[in-house]
Structure 1
């Protein structure tokens, strides 16, 4: 039996299904709006936010040729670990030259001290000779009245007295000149010795810095140096990135920052991990100026036509160290950051950025001169001993 087609009934069923679909779509839309409003009514968000960290450059500190590279990109470097070695030939030559100069100066000062003693004895000897000649002159003058001594002999004696007095004055002037150079200061603390000591310390420091060490612990990146490179002080070799001290720099529109305060909590989604992983942070501080203020070429709105552009203010958000340890991040990663402005937070100009981490200080350079003072004292003592004994050569 053939079924009779009823167009009106079919149209009625279709309209009913369409209404149901439409009502369901409207209901889903309303639920989403309610969810979005509930989730975001007390939050401000931006996708102009990036993970930031310390990029610590490692540069050459002395001249030399690279003879060994002990690290590579992506490797972890411990604080104080030697990463690059230079030949240090020029630094070693300079150190030997400075040590020889110190030894030479010490010997010269010992010689000057001995010369003062020599001049003292010479003056005493000439003074004794002068006294004897004066006594002779008195006797010659007494005998001259009786004709026992000629006038010529008296005159010669007087000339001899003037000669001895001149020699004594000359020796005294030379002694004063030498004493002025010594100035009554011990050889170990003499200005010339101190100057030579400083040159030895500087040369020793350059020699020690042929081994380039990591100032902080972190991962190696941007290695530029190669074996055989001739480097000068200040030439960048590589960078070290400590991944345990990261934060987020989030750039919010100026219309969003009115309620942002340091101390408020933040949720961060990193694009690299998707929406399933959420990092929790705390607002550490707000930049004292907009991005255009610190630009290389700041805009000058006093010239030409003005077009209003919404500025952005940078907000620094600290990350949870435990979450970073579980799911490491790298500087430069993009994020979507939301700040909970419902939290009261702290005053607007407050900042809880900590500078207590290793990225803000290092102690590896404090012991670079260890051993140099003993080396200097050894050079001084050996050269004083050699000079006193009349030995030849400069002992470095």
Structure 2
């Protein structure tokens, strides 16, 4: 059974009670006054009993629990160091990319120079290995030619040795000639084996040089990355604003030491602001994105700002508190919760430059109900 039905059932009972109360007062008041008093009291009771339904049925919903908000940007240092200068003032308007603080760059310039020197040394070592690889290729070609020549000489010597052995069988050659042919065959066999060994060694050396060249390329990549990081760190010595807006008070001064992540200023990207209005749950019954909103703020008296409902918060503000309420124990008293509603302001309106994050506002949503 809904609250409206319950209220309708309770109303006759309340009226009877009030009528009996008026009868007791007949001696002091006239019946008409008593009846009017009873009707007034009944109206009050009914209003209290059905107040939420009356509020929900209104064409406009208003709250003064509304505040101007913006995406506040925390400008922080990427690196550590001592602050050299802060070329901006408190509450100054800055543009995207404008320098807001400078960190001493001596150390970072030296690191960049060292990184560039390391990269140059690695590139020189790689170039030397490339030259060695080219030279080793020529050594391999020479070794291959030596092997071919040794093979040819060995084949010719073996043929001569075979001929001398045939002649020795017939007795048509001297023993000395046979021995010389045999010695030549052994000598050229050894020369062929040495040439083959030299070729194998040259090929192994080439593989070693190729491995060293690959390592040198990896070293170059590592040194180049180190150089790039050093260059990036040097660039970070100038702390710039990521967006256009207005600075709040500065949090650092020249001579201060800042660690990585230290906030140096807080920036409000004005006039990019919106409004968060907290409506009671009964007020958002007919509230939808796209509905028209009118707003007023104390800093712009007489000016009405216009906007639209962007979205309704998924949870009540109480659940987002540091200590959310727990009604599971103890006595319970129903308290109407409030839900945040994001309101986008129409661009180009007069007076938008007066709005600042944190200002309170009065918001009225045209629900059309």
Same fold (TM over 0.5): yes
Matched with 1:340 is: 366
Instruction: Note the aligned Cα RMSD (angstroms).
Output: 3.1
Matched with 2:143 is: 126
Per-residue CA deviations over 1:62-90 (Å, capped at 9, x if unaligned) read 23321010112111112221111112233
Matched with 2:247 is: 220
Per-residue CA deviations over 1:197-220 (Å, capped at 9, x if unaligned) read 333332222222211111111111
Is residue 53 from structure 1 mapped to residue 84 from structure 2 by the alignment? no
Is residue 250 from structure 1 mapped to residue 281 from structure 2 by the alignment? no
1:314-325 to 2 correspondences below 5 Å? 314-323=340-349, 325=351
Is residue 259 from structure 1 mapped to residue 276 from structure 2 by the alignment? no
Q: Secondary structure at the match of 1:289?
A: coil
Is residue 162 from structure 1 mapped to residue 193 from structure 2 by the alignment? yes
Deviation at 1:48, TM superposition (A): 1.5
Deviation at 1:118, TM superposition (A): 1.2
Structure of higher CA gyration radius: 2
Matched with 1:108 is: 125
Alignment partners' CA distance in 1, 2:252 and 2:272: 26
Alignment partners' CA distance in 1, 2:84 and 2:121: 34
1:54-93 to 2 correspondences below 5 Å? 54-93=71-110
Alignment partners' CA distance in 1, 2:331 and 2:106: 63
Distance 1:297 1:41, change over 3 A: closer
Deviation at 1:251, TM superposition (A): 0.6
Alignment partners' CA distance in 1, 2:358 and 2:58: 29
Alignment partners' CA distance in 2, 1:126 and 1:342: 97
Is residue 287 from structure 1 mapped to residue 318 from structure 2 by the alignment? no
Distance 1:261 1:129, change over 3 A: closer
Alignment partners' CA distance in 2, 1:205 and 1:212: 12
Deviation at 1:270, TM superposition (A): 2.0
Deviation at 1:94, TM superposition (A): 2.7
Which of 232, 237, 242 matches 2:264? 237
Moved more, 156-165 or 65-74: 156-165
Deviation at 1:249, TM superposition (A): 0.7
Alignment partners' CA distance in 2, 1:174 and 1:94: 37
Matched with 1:147 is: 176
Alignment partners' CA distance in 2, 1:135 and 1:316: 94
Q: Secondary structure at the match of 1:58?
A: strand
TM-score by length of 2: 0.70
Deviation at 1:170, TM superposition (A): 1.3
Deviation at 1:102, TM superposition (A): 2.5
Distance 1:322 1:119, change over 3 A: closer
Distance 1:125 1:296, change over 3 A: same
Distance 1:324 1:247, change over 3 A: farther
Which of 249, 261, 270 matches 2:297? 270
Higher helix share: 2
Partners of 1:243 and 1:328 within 8 A in 2: no
Alignment partners' CA distance in 1, 2:327 and 2:276: 27
Alignment partners' CA distance in 2, 1:277 and 1:131: 101
Unmatched segments (≥5 aa) in structure 2: 1-53, 166-174
Matched with 2:205 is: 174
Unmatched segments (≥5 aa) in structure 1: 1-36, 344-396
Moved more, 129-138 or 308-317: 129-138
Moved more, 60-69 or 295-304: 295-304
Matched with 2:10 is: none
1:305-320 to 2 correspondences below 5 Å? 306-320=332-346
Matched with 1:208 is: 235
